[in-house]
Amino acid sequence: MSSLPPPASPPPPGPSQGAPAPKGGTLVKSAWTALRADKELLGLPILGGIVSLVAVAPVLILLALVPSDAQFWNYVIFVLAAFIVAVISTFFAVALAAGAHDRMGGGQPTFKSCCAVAWSHKRGVIGWALLSTTVGLVLNLIEDKMKGAGGAIVRLIGDMAWAVASFFAIPIIAANDVGPIEALKLSTSTFKSRWGSAVRVQLRLGIYGIGLFVLAIVGFFVVALAWNASHMLGIALGIVVIVGLMIGVLLLSAVGAYARVALYRYASGLVTPGFTSVTMDTAITPKVDTKR
């Protein structure tokens, strides 16, 4: 799978130029349709979640064995667990993005080929996991030091800034053998220059996430009622709710990743089958030079 060039100049205005920007739901639904066409790739985020749980289990056991007053070692183990999860989740996210790139480029991606691309870009995978873990830890420290509403506000602003800056990082790492800093720079410049409307996708995914959270609350309420009637029924329903919640979160993440790949490919001037030209053209909001 060849590397992709940095995002090219915006395409010339077409028939759809100036048309109303599509709702975020339009792009998300298009991404889900395209992803569903290659069911083998759906196993990547699911396997990533399973591997993360298995890999972090020994670390959590070690954390339980360390005395609670050994704060330094507790912190070290916590950081180690966070980094392990970040590496695994980044690896499978890059693999999924690589499959999306390959499929949109006319290829026939397989589970094995996607993982092979992610492994060949392990420098970017490990580097990005280290960078994202570091950013998360720094934000946690700032929030803990400031405490109260001030800390929460700073954390919120930091999370939002990081989400914007890193929006296209995974598709970039999947398509180019670059390190984390270069990926972050490319992601930031792409978002700033012409991807203001990509926020709609993120907001729509956030709405779906809230819906999933509400369903989870309802599910656990039902589990509580079933537990009162029968412990065995409560356990069975609890397993169903937990598994369903995990699958829902992972699939929602996969759809978002696929949409980002499509948007990045379009910005790079590459074909994006499964997305109509009207949908993609109006999804772009080129940065307007107001200084003229």
Q: Is residue 188 in a domain?
A: yes
Output the pLDDT for position 13: 32
Q: Is residue 191 in a domain?
A: yes
Q: Is residue 257 in a domain?
A: yes
Output the pLDDT for position 116: 94
Instruction: Give CA 11 to chain center in angstroms.
Output: 27
Output the pLDDT for position 126: 95
Output the pLDDT for position 272: 67
Output the pLDDT for position 191: 78
Contacts for 48-55: CB closer than 8 Å, 24+ residues apart: 48/88, 48/89, 48/91, 48/92, 48/93, 48/250, 49/246, 49/250, 51/88, 51/92, 52/84, 52/85, 52/88, 52/89, 55/84, 55/85, 55/88
Output the pLDDT for position 114: 93
Q: Is residue 96 in a domain?
A: yes
Q: Is residue 44 in a domain?
A: yes
Output the pLDDT for position 236: 85
Q: Is residue 292 in a domain?
A: no
Domain count, the chain: 1
Q: Is residue 11 in a domain?
A: no
Range of the domain at 136: 37-283
For the full predicted model, state whether its pTM sits above 0.85: no
Q: Is residue 178 in a domain?
A: yes
* Ranges of the chain with pLDDT below 70: 1-27, 68, 70, 193-203, 270-292
